[in-house]
Amino acid sequence: MKNLGFKIGLIGTLSFSYFLVMGSVLYGQSPTIKWISWEQMEQAQKKEKRKVVVDLYTDWCGWCKRMDATTFQDPELIMTINKNFYAVKFNAERKEDILHKERVFKFIAQGNRGYHELAAFITHNKLSYPTFVFLDETLNTIQALPGYREASVFNMIAQYFCGNYYKTTPFQKYQEIYLTNLKR
C-alpha cells in the first residue's frame, strides 16, 4: 500500500513536469533554472520556506561548466528544480563574507586559491567540484553529492529529496521504483 501512494505521487510529478515542459516548448519559451545567490535565497526563505539545492562550483572547474552546458539545460530537470527548490549558484572560492545562522563565514586563502568556509560547512568539509548540496527548509544539509551527474540521474535525485522520500525510503529502493515506473 505504501508503494502505491509512492507510485501515484511519482507518476503525478512526472506528468505535471511533462505538461509544463511541453507548454514552454509550444509557446517558444526556453526554460532555465532560476539561479539565485545565497543572500537572495535567505531573503526568499523569509517569505516562503523551501528546500534548497546548492551548485558548489569554481571558475576553473571543467565539470562544473559541463553541468551548466548539459544537465542544467534539460527541460524536465529545470521544471523539477524551479517548482520545488531555491536553486543557489555558489562559487566555493568567493571572497565575500556571509552571515549564516549567526556566524560569519569567510574566505580562507590557501596558496594561489582557497575556499569559502560556508562551502566547507554545508559539505561537512568534503570539498570537491562540482558538488550539489541539498538543504532542508531550515537550511540544514540533507546530503552533499560530489561529481558530475547526467540530467536524468540528477532529476531522480532531486525528486527523491523534494518528495521527502529520503525520510522513509532508502535511495536504492527509491531508484528501483522510480526506474520501474519510467519504463511503464
Whether the ω angle into residue 31 lies within 30 degrees of 0, i.e. cis, is no
What does the pLDDT read at residue 24? Answer: 47
pTM over 0.75: yes
Structural domain range at position 76: 2-183
What is the tally of structural domains in the chain? 1
pLDDT surpasses 80 at 91: yes
Of the ranges 20-29, 81-90, 97-106, which one carries the lowest mean pLDDT score? 20-29
Q: Alpha carbon of 81 to those of 32, 36, 55, 101, 102: distances in Å? A: 10, 12, 12, 24, 28
Residue bearing the bigger pLDDT, 3 or 87: 87
What are the backbone angles phi and psi of residue 68, rounded to the nearest 5°? -60, -40
Q: Are 81 and 58 in contact (CB under 8 A)?
A: no
Question: If you average pLDDT over every residue of the chain, what do you get?
Answer: 89
CATH code of the domain covering residue 57: 3.40.30.10
pLDDT in tens, 132-145: 999 999 999 999 99
Residue bearing the bigger pLDDT, 181 or 27: 181
pLDDT surpasses 70 at 104: yes
pLDDT surpasses 60 at 79: yes
